[in-house]
Structure 1
Amino acid sequence: MTGGRVLQLLKEGTAPQHEAVERRFDLNNRLRDTHTYTALLGRLYGFYQPLEAALGRVTGYEDLGLHLHERRKVAWLVSDLTALGCVPDSFPTCAHVPEIDSLGPAFGSMYVVEGASLGGRHISKLVAQRLGLTPDRGCSFFASYRDRIGPMWDAFRAALVRFAGTPSAEQQVVTAAVQTFESLDRWLARDEGVS
């Protein structure tokens, strides 16, 4: 298999876990009011903060044309939570994010969070309709890259394909993506206030 196959392998290999996270997200419940939406943001902050820290300890992204600093999302969560009157560090932090010690696991975890940015476009519209929040006040995380979402996703996919040129690299990426979805699902399941 060549690196170009990794995207199909990821789609197929993570389908059950991806669907589980989508069910767990339960947008009708989590966007019913500002309180439930804020709880969701706090939960996501608790997951993304340690995940981004782990991603930041890996080197070599730039050699593949990827700039990690452009893809950090915690600052958007901090901005949104602050706009909603919360102290981000008051939320619990996930202690069981996947181990990320090299580019293979890093790309697998990034596949999950970068893919989530695509879905964020739909969620940001719902947040605006239901809660009246905007990317400039309370909804910057889901709006993420705004009009750059397509190019950012394309650049990530290109870097991933450059990296995953062997079956071993592909397997590392898929395994980490599955683990990241599973970790996120478990973390969201602990949010009893919204379930």
Structure 2
Amino acid sequence: MHSQAHDVGAPSLLETLRAGTALLHIALEKRLPFFSEHLDADGYLSLLRAYYGFYAPIEAALYEGDLIPEGFDPQLRVKTPTLVSDLHALGLNDAAIDALPRCTHLPSLDTPAACLGAAYVLEGATLGGQVLRREMARRLGLDADNGGAFLNVYGAETGRRWKDFLDYLARQPMDAQARPCAVDAARSTFSCFEQWLDSQEVLL
């Protein structure tokens, strides 16, 4: 029988994920053009098209598999439909959206730990979206009805859903082998996302 003493001094999974992705997070934020004086309506549409090209395949990989640990409700967390609604509001029809390029270089989501790492990045992005939403409303007049819903995808539930996700993370048993896997997947999610946005020429 295998047993392992719990190290009360060990960092939590959340702390490990934060530390492991901090530099990648900062680097990507610096390149996003939401606060650039040159970003206009066309540039915003290009950004959303690129976001869709990443979110659609990674959410499909994450939620259509059966590896993400129990307790995570994809119906509450999926963001691609909101991106589709925004693209519709900005003038794209279903055929145009279906024709958008999609990222094929995705993180490997082949273990429960890897799925948790990717989910951490996608869920954490909802917090940053609050700041971006206010900026896009001020500068481009965007709101939930005319193309800005993705930046406020959870609306008034943003804070509670983030807390619920952190509680969910804290309940996941993670051994010494699984934890690095979660961090690697989170880092890979950041890297793949930045490389994809770069390939779509929407970054600074």
TM-score, scaled relative to structure 1: 0.91
CA distance in 1: counterparts of 2:157 and 2:136, whole angstroms: 20
Distance apart, 1:25 and its partner CA: 1.0
Mapped to 2, the partners of 1:116 and 1:98 lie a distance apart of: 17
Q: Whole-Å Cα distance in 2 between the matches of residues 107 and 9 of structure 1?
A: 12
Take 1:169 and 1:116, find their aligned partners in 2: how far apart are those partners? 23
Q: Mark the runs of 5 or more structure 1 residues left unpaired by the alignment.
A: none
SS in 1 for 2:201: coil
- Deviation of 1:89 after TM superposition, in Å, equals 2.0
Name which of 23, 36, 40 aligns with 1:33: 40
Residue in 2 that maps onto 1:72:
78
Residue 145 (structure 1) aligned with residue 154 (structure 2): yes
What is the percentage of aligned positions where both structures have the same residue?
Answer: 37
Q: Can you give the 5+ residue segments of structure 2 that lack an aligned partner in the other structure?
A: 1-6
Please say which structure displays the higher CA radius of gyration. Answer: 2
- Residue aligning to 1:59: 66
How far did residue 194 of structure 1 move? 5.6
Does residue 82 (structure 1) correspond to residue 88 (structure 2)? The answer is yes
- Assess if the C-alpha contact under 8 Å between 2:113 and 2:182 holds in 1: yes
C-alpha distance in 1 between matches for 2:37 and 2:127: 18
Match of 2:3 in 1: none
- 1:27 offset after TM fit, Å? 1.7
User: Is the Cα–Cα contact under 8 Å of residues 24 and 189 in structure 1 kept in the other structure?
Assistant: no
Alignment length, in residue pairs?
194
How far has the Cα of 1:59 moved from its partner?
Answer: 2.3
Cα distance in 2 between the residues matched to 1:21 and 1:107: 20
Distance 1:158 1:4 in 2: 15
Render the CA deviation track for 1:45-97: whole Å, top value 9, x for unaligned.
0000110010123326573x221111000001000011001232232100101
Look up the SS of the partner of 2:177 in the other structure.
helix
Instruction: Please tell me the root mean square deviation across aligned C-alpha atoms, in Å.
Output: 2.0
Given that 1:14 and 1:177 are in contact with CA atoms closer than 8 Å, whether structure 2 keeps it comes out as: yes
Match of 1:13 among 5, 20, 33: 20
The aligned counterpart of 2:29 is 22
* Higher share in helix: 1
Higher relative contact order (CA 8 A, sep 6+): 1
Distance 2:201 2:88 in 1: 22
In the alignment, residue 156 of structure 2 is paired with which amino acid?
A: D
The alignment status of 1:171 with 2:177, answered yes or no, reads no
**Residues 84 and 138 of structure 1 are in contact (CA less than 8 Å); yes or no, is this contact kept in structure 2?**
yes
